[in-house]
Amino acid sequence: MLINNDTIIKDDNPLMREKSKSVKLPLSKEDRDLLMDMFNYVKDSINPEIAEEKNLRPAVGISAIQVGVPKRMAAVRLVDIDKNDNEIIHEYCLVNPKIISSSVQKAYLKSGEGCLSVLDEHEGYVVRNARITVESYDALQDKFIKIRARGYLAIVLQHELDHFEGKLFYDRINKENPFEEIKNALII
Protein backbone atom coordinates (compact mmCIF):
# COMPACT_ATOMS: atom_id res chain seq x y z
CA MET A 1 0.00 0.00 0.00
CA LEU A 2 1.27 3.46 -0.84
CA ILE A 3 1.61 5.36 2.44
CA ASN A 4 2.62 9.01 2.32
CA ASN A 5 1.50 12.40 3.59
CA ASP A 6 -1.33 12.47 1.03
CA THR A 7 -2.74 9.01 1.86
CA ILE A 8 -2.62 9.25 5.67
CA ILE A 9 -6.08 9.96 7.06
CA LYS A 10 -6.38 13.25 8.94
CA ASP A 11 -8.15 13.88 12.25
CA ASP A 12 -11.24 15.45 10.66
CA ASN A 13 -12.10 12.07 9.09
CA PRO A 14 -14.72 10.23 11.24
CA LEU A 15 -12.77 6.97 10.76
CA MET A 16 -10.12 8.33 13.16
CA ARG A 17 -12.68 8.14 15.99
CA GLU A 18 -13.67 4.51 15.33
CA LYS A 19 -12.47 1.63 17.49
CA SER A 20 -10.13 -0.78 15.75
CA LYS A 21 -10.79 -4.52 15.63
CA SER A 22 -8.51 -7.32 16.79
CA VAL A 23 -6.44 -9.02 14.12
CA LYS A 24 -6.65 -12.75 13.44
CA LEU A 25 -3.42 -14.70 13.86
CA PRO A 26 -1.53 -16.06 12.07
CA LEU A 27 -1.37 -12.87 10.03
CA SER A 28 -2.82 -12.92 6.55
CA LYS A 29 -0.47 -11.89 3.75
CA GLU A 30 -2.53 -8.70 3.37
CA ASP A 31 -2.14 -7.75 7.07
CA ARG A 32 1.58 -8.62 7.11
CA ASP A 33 2.22 -6.59 3.95
CA LEU A 34 0.34 -3.60 5.39
CA LEU A 35 2.30 -3.78 8.64
CA MET A 36 5.60 -3.91 6.75
CA ASP A 37 4.55 -0.93 4.61
CA MET A 38 3.73 0.97 7.81
CA PHE A 39 7.10 0.03 9.31
CA ASN A 40 8.93 1.13 6.17
CA TYR A 41 7.12 4.49 6.32
CA VAL A 42 8.36 5.08 9.87
CA LYS A 43 11.88 3.90 9.03
CA ASP A 44 12.13 5.96 5.83
CA SER A 45 10.51 9.07 7.32
CA ILE A 46 13.57 9.96 9.39
CA ASN A 47 15.87 10.01 6.35
CA PRO A 48 15.48 13.55 4.93
CA GLU A 49 16.28 12.58 1.33
CA ILE A 50 13.90 9.60 1.23
CA ALA A 51 11.23 11.55 3.13
CA GLU A 52 11.31 14.38 0.60
CA GLU A 53 11.32 12.01 -2.37
CA LYS A 54 8.38 9.93 -1.04
CA ASN A 55 6.41 12.81 0.59
CA LEU A 56 6.77 11.53 4.16
CA ARG A 57 6.48 13.46 7.43
CA PRO A 58 8.90 12.37 10.18
CA ALA A 59 7.37 9.79 12.53
CA VAL A 60 8.25 7.27 15.21
CA GLY A 61 4.98 5.36 14.95
CA ILE A 62 1.89 4.78 12.84
CA SER A 63 -1.32 2.84 13.45
CA ALA A 64 -3.34 1.02 10.79
CA ILE A 65 -6.37 3.28 11.31
CA GLN A 66 -4.25 6.16 10.00
CA VAL A 67 -4.19 4.47 6.61
CA GLY A 68 -7.90 3.64 6.71
CA VAL A 69 -7.66 0.12 8.14
CA PRO A 70 -9.46 -0.22 11.51
CA LYS A 71 -7.26 -3.04 12.85
CA ARG A 72 -5.16 -3.18 16.00
CA MET A 73 -1.78 -2.96 14.30
CA ALA A 74 0.98 -0.40 14.79
CA ALA A 75 4.55 0.05 13.62
CA VAL A 76 7.07 1.77 15.89
CA ARG A 77 10.69 2.66 15.31
CA LEU A 78 12.57 5.06 17.52
CA VAL A 79 16.02 5.75 18.82
CA ASP A 80 16.32 6.28 22.57
CA ILE A 81 19.18 6.75 25.00
CA ASP A 82 19.65 4.48 28.04
CA LYS A 83 20.91 5.56 31.46
CA ASN A 84 24.52 5.02 30.30
CA ASP A 85 24.03 7.29 27.26
CA ASN A 86 24.00 4.32 24.88
CA GLU A 87 21.79 4.51 21.80
CA ILE A 88 18.98 1.94 21.72
CA ILE A 89 16.87 1.30 18.63
CA HIS A 90 13.34 0.08 19.35
CA GLU A 91 11.63 -1.56 16.35
CA TYR A 92 8.21 -3.23 16.52
CA CYS A 93 5.38 -4.31 14.23
CA LEU A 94 2.73 -4.83 16.87
CA VAL A 95 -0.45 -6.83 16.42
CA ASN A 96 -3.19 -6.69 19.09
CA PRO A 97 -0.93 -4.98 21.65
CA LYS A 98 -2.38 -4.31 25.07
CA ILE A 99 -1.13 -2.58 28.19
CA ILE A 100 -1.10 -5.08 31.05
CA SER A 101 0.37 -2.78 33.70
CA SER A 102 1.22 0.88 34.14
CA SER A 103 2.88 3.10 36.70
CA VAL A 104 1.14 5.56 38.97
CA GLN A 105 3.81 8.11 38.03
CA LYS A 106 2.85 10.26 35.06
CA ALA A 107 5.00 11.55 32.20
CA TYR A 108 4.78 14.01 29.34
CA LEU A 109 6.88 15.46 26.57
CA LYS A 110 7.87 19.02 27.42
CA SER A 111 7.54 20.00 23.75
CA GLY A 112 4.14 18.30 23.41
CA GLU A 113 3.10 15.51 21.05
CA GLY A 114 2.43 15.45 17.34
CA CYS A 115 0.70 13.03 15.01
CA LEU A 116 0.78 12.24 11.29
CA SER A 117 -3.02 12.61 11.26
CA VAL A 118 -3.05 16.00 12.98
CA LEU A 119 -1.96 19.02 10.97
CA ASP A 120 -3.12 21.76 13.36
CA GLU A 121 -1.05 22.85 16.35
CA HIS A 122 -2.39 21.63 19.73
CA GLU A 123 -0.29 23.05 22.54
CA GLY A 124 -0.23 21.58 26.02
CA TYR A 125 1.03 18.62 28.00
CA VAL A 126 -0.26 15.20 27.00
CA VAL A 127 -0.17 13.37 30.32
CA ARG A 128 0.48 9.63 30.17
CA ASN A 129 1.91 6.86 32.36
CA ALA A 130 5.70 7.03 32.83
CA ARG A 131 6.11 3.22 32.64
CA ILE A 132 3.99 0.55 31.00
CA THR A 133 4.20 -3.13 30.16
CA VAL A 134 2.74 -4.18 26.81
CA GLU A 135 2.00 -7.68 25.57
CA SER A 136 1.75 -8.16 21.83
CA TYR A 137 2.51 -10.30 18.84
CA ASP A 138 5.47 -8.69 17.02
CA ALA A 139 5.56 -9.42 13.28
CA LEU A 140 9.24 -8.39 13.03
CA GLN A 141 10.28 -11.10 15.49
CA ASP A 142 7.39 -13.40 14.52
CA LYS A 143 6.52 -14.13 18.16
CA PHE A 144 4.63 -12.89 21.18
CA ILE A 145 6.61 -10.39 23.22
CA LYS A 146 6.41 -8.37 26.40
CA ILE A 147 7.74 -4.80 26.30
CA ARG A 148 8.65 -3.03 29.53
CA ALA A 149 8.76 0.58 28.43
CA ARG A 150 9.55 3.79 30.24
CA GLY A 151 9.88 7.40 29.22
CA TYR A 152 9.72 8.21 25.53
CA LEU A 153 9.03 4.64 24.36
CA ALA A 154 6.15 4.36 26.86
CA ILE A 155 4.66 7.60 25.55
CA VAL A 156 4.96 6.52 21.91
CA LEU A 157 3.33 3.15 22.61
CA GLN A 158 0.45 4.77 24.52
CA HIS A 159 -0.04 7.26 21.67
CA GLU A 160 -0.33 4.47 19.09
CA LEU A 161 -2.60 2.31 21.27
CA ASP A 162 -4.89 5.32 21.81
CA HIS A 163 -5.56 5.27 18.06
CA PHE A 164 -7.16 1.82 18.51
CA GLU A 165 -9.75 3.43 20.79
CA GLY A 166 -10.43 6.38 18.49
CA LYS A 167 -8.49 8.78 20.75
CA LEU A 168 -6.11 11.49 19.60
CA PHE A 169 -3.31 13.00 21.66
CA TYR A 170 -5.02 16.37 22.06
CA ASP A 171 -7.98 14.67 23.78
CA ARG A 172 -5.60 14.23 26.74
CA ILE A 173 -4.61 17.91 27.02
CA ASN A 174 -6.18 19.74 29.97
CA LYS A 175 -8.57 22.19 28.29
CA GLU A 176 -8.66 24.54 31.32
CA ASN A 177 -4.90 24.64 31.92
CA PRO A 178 -2.94 23.03 29.03
CA PHE A 179 0.46 23.60 30.65
CA GLU A 180 -0.49 22.64 34.21
CA GLU A 181 2.54 21.28 36.05
CA ILE A 182 2.03 17.65 37.05
CA LYS A 183 3.50 16.85 40.46
CA ASN A 184 6.24 14.16 40.39
CA ALA A 185 5.81 13.65 36.63
CA LEU A 186 8.68 12.47 34.46
CA ILE A 187 9.28 15.34 32.04
CA ILE A 188 10.91 14.25 28.78
Active-site annotation, residues:
160
Q: Whole-angstrom Cα distance, residue 74 to residue 80?
A: 18
Any idea how long the chain is?
188
Which residues, at least 6 apart from 136, have a Cβ–Cβ distance to it below 8 Å? 92, 94, 95, 96, 97, 98, 144, 145, 147
Per the rule left: phi > 0, alpha: psi between -120 and 50, beta: everything else, 55 is left
Rg of the chain taking only CA atoms, in angstroms? 16
**What is the DSSP pairing of strand 106-108 with strand 143-150?**
unpaired
